């Protein structure tokens, strides 16, 4: 099953004519590189989750609405660096990276919830006609995970017009880093939910 939560599985059992109880698990590990204002991030993302859901079939046993709980242990860490001699920005300040002691550091994303409510809708089979053995289930919705927050630590030597300095020990540079973190977290605060989208393949003997 392909899922925005990662590769995984679902197991369900009917508890009445219109309700099923379903549980599953997912795992995703990937690396992703991106740049923000001249800083390059090489990230390692690991998503691990389990879920428990109650599926309601309002009419037929194909379309359903699902209420559930997502149990997640998600982790994202990243190594950050600026190419030697390159320019980068933090907050409202611009810096030039040292060539002898380049600025570098690490970052991590903090996920506020390990237990999140989720709401999805789905179809057990989107294939037209009467397919007794083959099915292609799809599902989409959201989990209210809360907005994540990022934290970044930088060390090394940076330069401005009035000279070079140790980034970790310079109060103005550290304030610029805090401003940058706040700006990123303000953007992340607009994303309090995680999209849940899945498509699978089933075969019944």
Domain range summary for the chain, segments of one domain joined by +: 2-197
Per DSSP (E only), the strands in 57-174 are 63-81, 87-90, 93-97, 104-110, 115-123, 134-135, 138-143, 149-155, 157-160, 163-166
Inter-residue contact 75 to 135 (CB < 8 Å): no
Rounded (5°) CA angle 141-192-81: 115
pLDDT string in tens for the chain (205-residue length): 678 999 888 888 999 999 999 999 999 999 999 999 999 999 999 999 999 999 999 988 889 999 999 999 999 999 999 999 999 999 999 999 999 999 999 999 999 999 999 999 999 876 655 656 777 889 999 999 999 999 999 999 999 999 999 999 999 999 999 999 999 999 999 999 999 999 887 766 5
What pLDDT score does 175 carry?
Answer: 97
Task: Quickly tell me which residue has 């970044």 as its tokens.
Answer: 152
Q: What values do phi and psi take at 186, rounded to 5? A: -65, -40
Which CATH class for the 2-197 domain?
mainly beta
Q: H/E element holding 36?
A: strand 19-36
pTM given for the model = 0.81
Rounded (5°) CA angle 10-15-16: 130
Is 172 in a helix, a strand, or coil? helix
How is residue 139 written in tokens? 């599902």
């Amino acid at each position: 099953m392909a899922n925005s939560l990662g590769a995984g599985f679902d197991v369900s059992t009917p508890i009445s004519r219109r309700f099923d109880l379903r549980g599953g698990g997912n795992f995703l590990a990937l690396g992703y590189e991106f740049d923000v204002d001249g800083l390059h991030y090489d990230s390692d993302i690991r998503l691990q989750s389990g879920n428990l859901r109650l599926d309601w079939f309002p009419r037929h046993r194909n379309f359903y609405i699902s209420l559930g709980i997502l149990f997640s242990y998600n982790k994202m860490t990243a190594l950050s660096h600026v190419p030697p001699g390159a320019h980068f920005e933090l907050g409202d300040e611009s810096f030039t990276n040292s060539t002898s002691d380049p600025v570098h550091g690490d970052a991590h994303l903090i996920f506020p919830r390990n237990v999140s409510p989720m709401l999805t809708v789905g179809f057990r089979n989107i294939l037209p006609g009467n397919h007794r053995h083959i099915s292609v289930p799809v599902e989409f919705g959201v989990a209210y995970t809360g907005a994540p927050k990022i934290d970044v630590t930088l060390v090394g030597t940076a330069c401005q017009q009035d000279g070079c300095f140790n980034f970790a020990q310079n109060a103005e540079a550290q304030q610029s880093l805090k401003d940058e973190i706040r700006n990123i977290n303000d953007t992340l605060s607009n994303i309090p939910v995680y999209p849940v989208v899945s498509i699978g393949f089933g075969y019944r003997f």
